[in-house]
Structure 1
C-alpha cells in the first residue's frame, strides 16, 4: 500500500505561503503598510531602468540542452554490431546464378520484391524511401551546380580583367572552360582538378608535341631502302598524336588545321634543326630517344589503340 501525500493547501496558513513568495523584509513592509498606513519606500532611481538603455545588456541567456553533448570517438557497441551486420555477406539465388551481397542490400531488395508482389506496406515504404533519396540528391546536385556556375563566372571575370590590363591571367584549377554544367546531373570536369592531374596533362601535351616532330623525322630520316618502313612509322606516330590529343580538354586540343600547320613546319625546317628539336622534345617528355631514331612500329600503335578502347569500354560498363 502506498501512502497518499497529504494536501497541505487546505491546512497551510496564508501567511506561511506568502513567506515562500516574498522575503521576510518585504513581508514586514507590507504588514506595516496595511496596519499602520506607512508607505512602502520606493527604489532609488539609480537602480531603475534607464531610458534608451537595455535592462539586460548581456542579452538573454542561452538555453542549455537538457541532454549534455558528450563527443564520442568510437561508436557504441550496439552501433558497431548494426554496422557489422549490415555489411555481412548474404548468399542469394536469382535464377541459376548465386551471388553474395551485403545484408543491407539484401534487405532493400527484399523490401522491393515484397512491394512488387503487392504488399501495400512494403510498396509505400519503398516509394517513400526512393522519393526522399531522390529529393535529397536533387537538392545536392542543384547546390553543386550553382557553386560551380558562380566559380565559372568569377574565373572568367578575373581572366577578362587581366587581359584588359595586358597581364597574364592567373592559373585556375579547375579551368572554367573545363567545367560542363549539366542540369539535373552533377557537373562534368573535362580537365585537371588538382596538381597531380595537371602534371599528367602537361606530360601528355609534351608527348603530343614530340610525336608530331617524330612524324617528320620518320618521313625525312629513313634510309632509301627503308622508306616504306619510315612511312609506316610516321603513320604510327600520327595514331599516337590523335590518341593523346583526344585525352586533352577541348580548349587545348589541336584541330586538323593546327596539326597540319605544325607538322608542315617540321617537315620544312633544316634536318639538323629537326633532329635537335625532336631529341629535346623527347627529353622534356622524360624519355631518352637516340637522335634520328625511326619509331614506333605501326603494329605497336594499333595494339595500344585497341587496348585503350578496351579499357574505355570496361570502364563504361
Structure 2
C-alpha cells in the first residue's frame, strides 16, 4: 500500500482537464480546429487542365516526340539527305526484315496490315462523304430547276439567280459535281473579271490572225489557248466556245484599228475589275507559272524559254505587251 505525503495536494479533475487541453506540439487550439461534420476544404482539390497534364505529367512523351522528329544527316549512295529518327528507324526495320530477321518481318507484316486497314477505312469514309455531297448537289440542282421553271411560268426573274441549273456539271461515274460559274451574288464580280479577260484575249486572237504571215513567228495562236482557259470556267450562258468560229469570222471583217480599240477597252475593264476585287497584279510568281507552261511549246518552236521567245518577238517588231497580254 502506497502512502501519499500529506504535504502534496490532491489534483482536481478540472485541473487535469485543463492540463490535457493545453495547446502545444500536435495540439492546436480548440477554436482553430475543424468543426465536426464540416470539411476543411469545401471547394475541393482544383482540377488540372489538359495542357498542364500534358506538360507536367507526360514529359517522356514530349521527349519521345521531339526525338522521333529530330533530323539526322544520312548518306546513301553518295547522296547526303536529312531524315527524321522515325524514318531511319523504319528503314532499319525494313532492312532487318529483308535480310531474314523473323521478328522484324513479323513487325513489318503487322504494320503493313494495319496500314492497309487504315487506308481502306479512310477510303470508305471518303466515298461515303462524296456520295452524300453528290446527293446534296443533285437536290440543290433540282431545287434550282424548280425555281427557274416557276419564274418562267409567271414571266418573272427568279428570286435566286445563282447558281444557274445549266452550270451544274455531274459525273455519275466518279460521283462528283462541279459548278462552272458563280455560286452566289458575291462571286459574280470575279467571273465578270474573268469574262473581261476572256474578251480581251479573244480580240487579241483576231488581231494575231490579221498580222502578215511573216510576222507570225509562232505556228500556233497562243491567244486561243489563253481565252479558252478562261472561257471553260465561265457559266454556260457566258461561254463562246460553241460559236467561236462564227465570232472570229465576223471580227475578221472589222478593221485592225477598231480591234485594237476593243482590246484596250476590255483590258481596261479587266484592270478595273481586278482593282475592285483587290486581286494582285501579275508578278514573278505568275510569270514563273506562265514560263513553266509555255516552256515546252517554246522549245518545240526552237526557243529556250518564254523570255527567249519574248526577246525574239521584240526583235521582230511585235509588241510583247500586245502579244503576250497585259
TM-score normalised according to structure 1 size: 0.52
CA contact (8 A) 1:179 1:190 kept: no
**Corresponding residue for residue 9 of structure 1:** none
Sort the Cα spacing of 1:84 and 1:262 in 2 relative to 1 into closer, same or farther, 3 A. Answer: farther
**Corresponding residue for residue 36 of structure 1:** none
CA contact (8 A) 1:114 1:122 kept: yes
**Corresponding residue for residue 207 of structure 2:** 217
Alignment counterpart, residue 72 of structure 1, candidates 34, 44, 51: 51
**Corresponding residue for residue 113 of structure 2:** 131
Q: How far 1:233 moved relative to its partner? A: 10
> What pairs with 1:84-163 in structure 2 (closer than 5 Å)?
84-163=66-145
Q: How far 1:304 moved relative to its partner? A: 7.8
Sort the Cα spacing of 1:92 and 1:169 in 2 relative to 1 into closer, same or farther, 3 A. Answer: same
Q: How many residues align?
A: 220
**Corresponding residue for residue 293 of structure 2:** 308
CA contact (8 A) 2:73 2:82 kept: yes
CA contact (8 A) 2:163 2:179 kept: no
Q: Deviations over 1:247-287 (max 9, x none)?
A: 85997997965432343343345777645543332123328
C-alpha distance in 2, partners of 1:109/1:246? 49
Q: Deviations over 1:107-152 (max 9, x none)?
A: 1111111111111211111121122122222212221222122222
C-alpha distance in 2, partners of 1:98/1:252? 56
Unaligned 5+ segments in structure 1 are 1-67, 289-302, 312-317
> What pairs with 1:6-21 in structure 2 (closer than 5 Å)?
none
Q: Deviations over 1:50-73 (max 9, x none)?
A: xxxxxxxxxxxxxxxxxx884226
**Corresponding residue for residue 224 of structure 2:** 238
C-alpha distance in 1, partners of 2:271/2:261? 16
1:128 is paired with a residue whose SS is: helix
1:177 is paired with a residue whose SS is: strand
* 1:283 to 2:273 alignment: no
Unaligned 5+ segments in structure 2 are 1-46, 149-157, 274-287, 297-326
**Corresponding residue for residue 246 of structure 2:** 261
The alignment's C-alpha RMSD in Å is 4.8
C-alpha distance in 2, partners of 1:192/1:83? 46
**Corresponding residue for residue 229 of structure 1:** 215
C-alpha distance in 2, partners of 1:109/1:138? 24
CA contact (8 A) 1:159 1:170 kept: no
Sort the Cα spacing of 1:306 and 1:273 in 2 relative to 1 into closer, same or farther, 3 A. Answer: closer
